[in-house]
Amino acid sequence: MKKNKRAAARDAAEARERGMSRIPGNPSGRFWLYLVPGLLMLLWIIVIPAVWNIYLSFTNYRGVKPPVWAGLSNWARLFRDATFWTSFGNSIWMIVAMVVIPILVGLVLSSLIFDVVQKKFGAKAASTMRAVYYFPQLLPIAVASLVMGWIFRPENGALNALLEAVGLGGLQHNWLGSPDTALIFLMLIMIWIQVGYPLVIFMSGLQRVDPELYEAASLDGANWWQRFLAITLPSIKPEIFVVALTCTIAALKVFGPVYMLTRGGPGTSTIVPSYYSYQQFFQSQQVGYGAAIATALTVVIVVVAVVFTNLQQKVEAEDGE
């Protein structure tokens, strides 16, 4: 029996050395065939449309007649367009609402649930709380936006009805239809939708932390905040980078809630680059200019991804020294 096991192990090692699969007659060189469908889909859905979009950004095109080469005119117009820069300014606020605040809240909540709730009330209570916070992520963005629209609409909205019921009718407002509050309440909605994502990722990262570290710190007299700074934060650095990158990309290309709730208005108070590009494509029929906006947004996202990746590698290298 032992000889058979040794022979099988020796055969497997020889197969690996020859670049062969353990399955007889299946050379590893053939496995690239399994990648072909995915590569074709990537080419058809991502690469070709991206190249076509870049080309259109240098043309005048209204979607009917063939594109006419326009050189850098769309890009020159882009840099002079106040609405375009306003849209990117609003994207900064979206990053605050979808990245900064959810990460901070998610760090605190995940640590409290993992280090306090789970110890005092058990794993079921911790799982229930995690599921409650994550629930908005499970809703289709159209459904979540409709629900929030019903709450904040000026006529018969839940918030205004509540204010009326408690005698604060004078505070009733068109929350999403007024320039002074539309962006703020759009940000609040995005925080509600987004906060569950980092919470779940951080709690997943905390599962690999040895509970004895928390117990030892507690025995040494460390309070929750000290355990959070000394144990929780250093342990989930990789998760923080992943969440920061993915949420930043999502914030830069956010479209659904803006389309469903405000349509970029009132005025340009909630417009973002993706919705502005959509307006140029389908409403103004300035396809070339819309392509320039979309291309500029893509460049920004790629730069952000490269910066985050390099920063993560640098921090990991410093931690490894």
Model pTM score: 0.85
Torsion of CA 246, 252, 257, 260, to 10 degrees: -140
Residue 134 burial by CB count (10 A; 0-12/13-18/19+): exposed, middle or buried? middle
Dist. CA 305–CA 286, nearest whole Å:
29
Dist. CA 309–CA 315, nearest whole Å:
10
Dist. CA 116–CA 4, nearest whole Å:
53
Dist. CA 144–CA 192, nearest whole Å:
10
Residue 141 burial by CB count (10 A; 0-12/13-18/19+): exposed, middle or buried? middle
Q: Is the peptide bond before 198 cis (omega within 30 degrees of 0)?
A: no
Cβ–Cβ under 8 Å, residues 252 and 17 = no
Per-residue model confidence as pLDDT tens for the chain (321 residues) = 545 656 656 665 565 555 444 445 555 556 778 888 999 999 999 999 999 999 999 999 988 888 999 999 999 999 999 999 999 999 999 999 999 999 999 999 998 898 888 888 888 988 899 999 999 999 898 899 889 989 998 888 899 999 989 988 888 899 999 999 999 999 999 999 999 999 999 998 888 888 788 888 888 888 888 888 888 888 888 899 999 999 999 999 999 999 999 999 899 999 999 999 999 998 888 999 999 999 999 999 999 999 998 988 888 887 766
Of 253, 250, 230, nearest in space to 242 by CA: 250
Dist. CA 308–CA 321, nearest whole Å:
20
4: its two tokens: 């058979």
Residue 122 burial by CB count (10 A; 0-12/13-18/19+): exposed, middle or buried? exposed
The alpha carbon of residue 86 and the mean position of all alpha carbons in its chain are separated, in whole angstroms, by: 21
Dist. CA 263–CA 186, nearest whole Å:
11
Distances (CA, A) of 280 to 80, 144, 275, 285, 294: 16, 26, 9, 6, 10
Cβ–Cβ under 8 Å, residues 239 and 229 = no
142: its two tokens: 């159209």
